[in-house]
Amino acid sequence: MTALVDVNNFYVSCERVFNPRLRGVPVVVLSNNDGCVVARSEEAKKLGIAMGQPFFEVQDMVGKNGLQVYSSNYALYGDMSARVMNLLRQFAPEVEIYSIDEAFLDFTGMEHFDLYARALEIRETILRCVGLPVCVGVAPTKVLVKIANRLAKKDKQGNGVRILSGDCSDVLKSVETGDIWGIGYQYAALLQRNGLKTAFDLAHASDAWVRKHLSVTGLRIKKELLGQPCIKTDTEVPARKSIGTTRSFRQPVASEAALQALVADFAARCGEKLRRQNGEASILTLFLQTNRFATDQPQYSALFNVSFAAPTSSTLPMVHAARYALKRIFRAGYEYKRAGILLSSITPPGNGPQLAMFDPVDRNKHGQLMMVFDALNVRYGRNTIKTGAQSTGRQGRLTSQCKLSARFTTVWEEMLSIKISSDAAPGYPIR
């Protein structure tokens, strides 16, 4: 058996831990650029706000319905997530951290325990120690445990725990195909066209048909619905196969000079992420896009790959490659809305392909330099030291964050302070 622990409305719940006034009222958290809604409280869902909906479409609810709005605060959410994951490790020998707010727990061999009581204990522990509400599903396969967790969340009268075992036919008949983990919008439409409406229908379709139309991934989902585990629990944190830094700009950017600085910033950020996982990359990709929603404006999008002579983790050749790539694909006369840098073909140090006889980058020198870069930037804050090609920070913010809460748990100066009056706590010394 496998358990899935998932924090309810994670980003919103994190904000509520430090601001109890947000409880019981509609709250949403926005995506990076304050563009889309990425988390909603139950009250916000009831107002009809959809996941991924552009914020400007619901903005009038701020005044009309008392909607509370927050920019995403990844420093806070990342730290809260780490606290939850640490607590979960005491409940199972193997924990797979699947995303920032959910984890699979391997319950193999625990079938003779009271799994329901154990799931309840997980829920109570997380709530008591971190202040976050979670739901727990338990089932024999990952696809089924996703369904169990979803049912636990949907049942408002229940206590946040749902166990699926034995014959699940009735449950599967109540689940629409689009609500199955791994069946997205396109596959759900395809299944619908072919008369498969529920998880039960998919589970009993022929293997050959599923394989043909939904590829091997679909076939695995089908078997998991029948209780045969096909998707392994992976507790090792896998090294990333690609690393990217991409941004949509609040104001479109037309000048090549401004883009040169921005792509240098993205490349430098990618280098930091790559070094954190102790990898080297062989390929750098730059892409540029105009605003695809502005259909009345001329559209252009392009992508350019640069291969390094030898795999590298140094920011300097990355910045150089990014600027070179921009020179190759930049076209004047367009308003660029989005750009990004991707690193790929990532290998452990010294293991990647070398494409040239001589590596133009002095590995030792760059290695030491980057250690100093990273140490300074960790100690004194991001971009304390950077390459001359990067932006100077004087151009003003390119992205916007309208309402960012404090980094309550990771920055001393932003820690929550509480005033206690002597009337509120008679008999206790006030500090």
Does 340 participate in binding DNA (rule CB under 7 A)?
Answer: yes
Does 74 participate in binding DNA (rule CB under 7 A)?
Answer: no
Q: What is the C-alpha to C-alpha distance for residues 308 and 355, in angstroms, rounded to an integer?
A: 8
Residue from the set 273, 363, 366, 407 that interacts with DNA by CB under 7 A: 273
Q: Smallest gap, in angstroms, from Cβ of residue 292 to DNA?
A: 9
Residue from the set 168, 210, 243, 319 that interacts with DNA by CB under 7 A: 243
Q: Quick one: 61 or 110, whose CB is closer to DNA?
A: 61
Q: Quick one: 180 or 203, whose CB is closer to DNA?
A: 180
Q: Quick one: 116 or 233, whose CB is closer to DNA?
A: 233
Q: Quick one: 118 or 269, whose CB is closer to DNA?
A: 269
Cβ distance 223 to 245 under 8 Å?
Answer: no
Tokens of 53: 């909906």
Does 194 participate in binding DNA (rule CB under 7 A)?
Answer: no
CA distances from 80 to 11, 94, 143 (A): 10, 20, 26
The 3-state secondary structure of 59-84, one letter per residue: CCHHHHCCCEEEECCHHHHHHHHHHH
- 31-37 CB contacts, 8 Å cutoff, 24+ apart: 31/72, 32/72, 32/247, 32/248, 32/399, 33/247, 33/248, 33/250, 33/399, 33/400, 34/71, 34/400, 34/401, 34/402, 35/248
The 3-state secondary structure of 154-205, one letter per residue: HCCCCCCEEECCCCCHHHHHCCEHHHCCCCCHHHHHHHHHCCCCEHHHHHCC
Does 354 participate in binding DNA (rule CB under 7 A)?
Answer: no
What is the distance of C-alpha 105 from the center of its chain?
20
Q: Quick one: 4 or 361, whose CB is closer to DNA?
A: 4
CA dihedral sign of residues 28, 121, 139, 155: negative
Q: Smallest gap, in angstroms, from Cβ of residue 311 to DNA?
A: 13
Q: Smallest gap, in angstroms, from Cβ of residue 337 to DNA?
A: 7
Does 245 participate in binding DNA (rule CB under 7 A)?
Answer: yes
Does 216 participate in binding DNA (rule CB under 7 A)?
Answer: yes
Does 305 participate in binding DNA (rule CB under 7 A)?
Answer: yes
Residue from the set 33, 125, 159, 383 that interacts with DNA by CB under 7 A: 33
Does 98 participate in binding DNA (rule CB under 7 A)?
Answer: yes
Residue from the set 3, 27, 38, 67 that interacts with DNA by CB under 7 A: 38
Cβ distance 11 to 72 under 8 Å?
Answer: yes
Does 142 participate in binding DNA (rule CB under 7 A)?
Answer: no
Does 298 participate in binding DNA (rule CB under 7 A)?
Answer: no
Does 188 participate in binding DNA (rule CB under 7 A)?
Answer: yes
Q: What is the DSSP string of 119-159?
A: HHHHHHHHHHHH---EEEEEESSHHHHHHHHHHHHH-TTS-
Does 184 participate in binding DNA (rule CB under 7 A)?
Answer: yes
Does 195 participate in binding DNA (rule CB under 7 A)?
Answer: no
Does 199 participate in binding DNA (rule CB under 7 A)?
Answer: no
What is the distance of C-alpha 371 from the center of its chain?
27
Does 407 participate in binding DNA (rule CB under 7 A)?
Answer: no
Q: Smallest gap, in angstroms, from Cβ of residue 354 to DNA?
A: 13
Indicate the residue type of 346. I
Q: Who's near 390: CB < 8 A, 6+ residues apart?
A: 261, 264, 265, 268, 319, 383
Does 146 participate in binding DNA (rule CB under 7 A)?
Answer: yes
Binding footprint of DNA on the chain (CB under 7 A) = 31-33, 35-36, 38, 52, 54-56, 59, 98-102, 146, 180-188, 215-217, 238, 240-248, 250, 273, 291, 293-294, 305, 338, 340, 399
